[in-house]
């Protein structure tokens, strides 16, 4: 059993097949320094549906209309990801910021930003219930055995989707600050029309009230501007290089 420390206490995580709020924990997904991810089911919903996802229509106008495709992705409508955020005395403020930003962005239902269904306390954790991406992240889509990167149309489609989401976030004064393969979730891995969403707002900041110049991000993805201590909104170039040129060791 995985155990994390909160103040002076060690607290076990929920077991598989146990119940947290109205969710059933089914399996462990991953663990980071600040959170643990589980796959789960919402007990209040019990049906399998074919969910039609519209890339274009949402509560704000989309500036780039790259295609008019609809993706019919069979999903379990009650399948969710539960993110257990490790709360400490030092991280309480950051945790509250992540939750507030996640709530704010989810209220717009942007097609390329992950939706958060709810958040609740499970002492000593805060838990986010969010969409389940059936095809993992861009890290799972990346294949180092290819002789060259993904085809141009696939790369451009993914790029447009990510940049649409980033532009929307920046227009609403939110900087993500940790764009990397693991934080781009794949909802359709069709090579012709892939469908991705930005996730994980643990390092995101609302610049309307705060103008950060701290050096944050993930090693290997941080832009040179950030390393130099300058402000940088679009730290996206490295992901584009990986998929277009298949360079993963620069």
Is 3 within 8 Å of 53 (Cβ atoms)?
Answer: no
Instruction: Judge whether 236 is annotated as a binding position.
Output: no
DSSP state string for the chain = --EEEETTEEEEPPPTT-EETTEEEEEEEEE-SSEEEEEEEETT---EEEEEEESS-SSS--S------EEEEEEETTEEEEEEEE--TTTHHHHHHHHHHHHHHHTTT-TTBPPEEEEEEETTEEEEEEE--TT-BHHHH--TT-SS-S-HHHHHHHHHHHHHHHHHHHHTTEE-----GGGEEEEE--SSS-EEEE---SS-EETTT-------S-TTT--HHHHTT---S---HHHHHHHHH-----
- Is 96 annotated in some ligand binding site? no
167 is in an annotated binding site: no
Q: Report whether 92 belongs to an annotated binding site.
A: no
Whether 140 is a known active-site residue: answer no
Of 66, 44, 46, 48, the residue nearest 111 (C-alpha)? 66
The answer to whether the annotation marks 213 as part of a ligand binding site is no
Q: Which of 65, 178, 188, 246 is catalytic?
A: 178
Question: Does residue 164 have a known ligand-binding role?
Answer: no
d(CA 214, CA 92): 19
Q: Report the binding-site residues.
A: 131-133, 182-183, 200
Which positions are annotated as active-site residues?
A: 178
Binding-site entries for ATP: 131-133, 182-183, 200
């Amino acid at each position: 059993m995985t155990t994390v420390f909160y103040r002076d206490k060690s607290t076990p995580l929920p077991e598989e097949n146990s119940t947290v709020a109205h969710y059933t924990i089914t399996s462990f997904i991953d663990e980071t320094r600040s959170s643990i991810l589980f796959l789960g089911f919402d007990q209040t919903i019990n049906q399998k549906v074919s969910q039609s996802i519209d890339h274009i229509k949402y509560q704000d106008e989309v500036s780039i209309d790259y295609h008019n495709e609809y993706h019919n992705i069979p999903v379990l409508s009650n399948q969710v990801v539960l993110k257990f955020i490790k709360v400490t005395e030092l991280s309480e403020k950051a945790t509250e910021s992540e939750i507030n930003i996640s709530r704010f962005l989810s209220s717009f239902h942007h097609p390329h930003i992950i939706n958060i269904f709810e958040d609740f306390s499970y002492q000593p954790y805060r838990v986010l219930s969010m969409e389940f991406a059936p095809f993992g992240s861009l890290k799972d889509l990346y294949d180092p055995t290819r002789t060259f990167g993904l085809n141009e149309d696939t790369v451009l489609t993914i790029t447009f989707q990510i940049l649409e989401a980033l532009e929307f976030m920046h227009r609403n004064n939110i900087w993500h600050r940790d764009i990397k393969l693991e934080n781009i979730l794949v909802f359709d891995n069709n090579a012709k029309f892939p469908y991705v969403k930005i996730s994980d707002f643990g390092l995101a900041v609302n610049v309307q009230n705060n103008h950060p110049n701290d050096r944050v991000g993930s090693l290997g993805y941080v832009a040179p501007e950030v390393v130099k201590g300058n402000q940088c909104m679009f730290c996206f170039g490295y992901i584009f290089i990986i998929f277009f040129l298949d360079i993963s060791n620069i």
